[in-house]
Amino acid sequence: MHTTETKPLKNKLLFIMATAIAATAANLYYNQPLIPSIGKALNLSDGVLGFIPSASQIGYAMAIFFISPLGDVMNRKLVIRNLSIILVIALLGVYLAPNFAILITSTFVVGLGANITQQLIPLGASLSTLENKGKVMATLMTGLTTGILLSRTLSGFIAQHFGWRAVFLGAAIIAAIIGVVLQLTLPSNKPAVKLKYTQLLGSMFTLVKTKPQLREAAFVGALWFAAFNAMWATIAIHVMDAPFLLSVQQVGLLGFVGAAGIFGAKIAGKWVDKIGVRKVMTVSISLVLLSFVVLALGQNSMLMLCIGIILLDLGVFGSQIPNQVRVFAIDENARSRTNAVYMLFYYIGAAVGSAVGVKVISTYGWTGLTIFGFALAAIALLFHLTRKAKK
């Protein structure tokens, strides 16, 4: 039995969905280049700064587990409407936050509201056909990649000229506009699955237990995304210090360098059908591993740091496309739940990578951070190759 939809997925709607995914995902990363500025404004110690980027990731992970599965049993359009309201209120909370407690709480709720992305991606998968599934997934994931990577550049620019709070006021306005547009354009869907909420959550544990491919995709994805977020959560700390002494706007411009990940996603989407999921992932994870070698060697060289960032983003988003494709192929009537399990691990990895990364760089410096990232990527590649050997 298939989930039925009232409209086919046209290019206009696909563009709107990809744009909404980009704008929504960006909310999880606006704070990364702003960490030093926020810490200074609220008089925070270095020991708690790592909780700022990880709070939104933890909220996102919690939403993936408790909210994402609702897309299999409820009209996704209704779920997205409610999440849009939550997201706007939370962003205004960050904008107005007078202290650390309210900042962290609001940041956590931003992560919950950003679950809109994890409703739109399975919706796109269910609306696509066998002929255009690759195109649809590549377009939606390119939107996700764009939001993640360019968010830092946008927030750095706005913060430099108008202060860090203005970033979140602007984000709240954008979220409100996106919410209205989605309500006007998204089709309603009639879910094919009928489960109580407790049964719905319990079924995800069953999927983890019975689907080894899901476990593998989730574990490997968590590792490389932890490494990715460890670097991006700490790069501002590193380059705003000597010898670079960059401004917050200049730090944000590194997001343009990371935009290479957009091309990684597109290239991976094309090659998956030609040479297979595992080969694309092997090459991509190897790029992540190599990136931390370059980042370590280029500790005091902006050129080398930029090359390392390009390799990292190419590798991470080149891995993401094939990994997501195989997750959605596991069970067509449980796409929201399989995606929820996968992305739950993914963003738990992000939260841990962000928090531990900030702690590592404050204790062991940039060298320690790059060793941490290299170790995570090495475990991911080893596990991936070992699993391949067994099949």
Where residue 101 sits, what CATH number does that domain have? 1.20.1250.20
DSSP bridge pairs for 189: 5
Distance between CA atoms of residues 90 and 68, nearest Å = 18
297: tokens are 């060697």
Instruction: Please list the alpha-helical segments (H only) found in the chain.
Output: 11-26, 35-41, 46-49, 51-66, 76-96, 100-113, 116-127, 133-162, 164-185, 197-210, 212-239, 248-252, 254-258, 260-275, 277-297, 302-328, 335-390
Q: CA–CA distance from 231 to each of 236, 239, 296, 301, 379 (Å)?
A: 9, 12, 11, 16, 17
Q: CA–CA distance from 212 to each of 117, 218, 337 (Å)?
A: 25, 10, 15
Residues 6+ apart with CB under 8 A from 322: 268, 272, 277, 278, 280, 281, 284
Taking the chain (391 residues) in runs of 10, the rounded mean pLDDT of each run is: 51 94 95 91 86 91 90 90 98 96 97 95 81 76 84 91 97 98 90 83 92 93 95 92 89 81 75 81 95 97 95 90 84 84 89 92 96 98 82 48
Phi/psi at 247 (nearest 5 deg)?
-85, 170
Q: CA–CA distance from 219 to each of 137, 148, 228, 286 (Å)?
A: 21, 21, 15, 16
Pairing between β-strand 4-5 and β-strand 189-190 as defined by DSSP bridges: antiparallel
Count of alpha carbons within 13 Å of 318, Cβ hemisphere only? 25
pLDDT at 7: 52
3-state secondary structure of 154: helix
pLDDT at 296: 97
pLDDT at 5: 44
118: tokens are 């994890």
pLDDT at 245: 92
Residue among 84, 263, 255 nearest 154 (CA): 255
Distance between CA atoms of residues 329 and 320, nearest Å = 14
pTM of the predicted protein model:
0.77
pLDDT at 301: 96
- Number of domains present in the structure of the chain: 1
| Contact indicator for 70, 80 with CB cutoff of 8 Å | no
pLDDT at 104: 96
Domain membership of residue 353 as a residue range = 4-390
pLDDT at 271: 79
pLDDT at 131: 65
pLDDT at 3: 43
pLDDT at 130: 67
Question: Exposed, middle or buried by CB within 10 Å (0-12, 13-18, 19+), for 78?
Answer: middle
Handedness of CA 13, 19, 332, 138 (dihedral sign): positive
% the chain with pLDDT above 70: 95
**At 251, which amino acid appears?**
V
Axis-axis angle for helices 164-185, 133-162 (nearest 10): 150
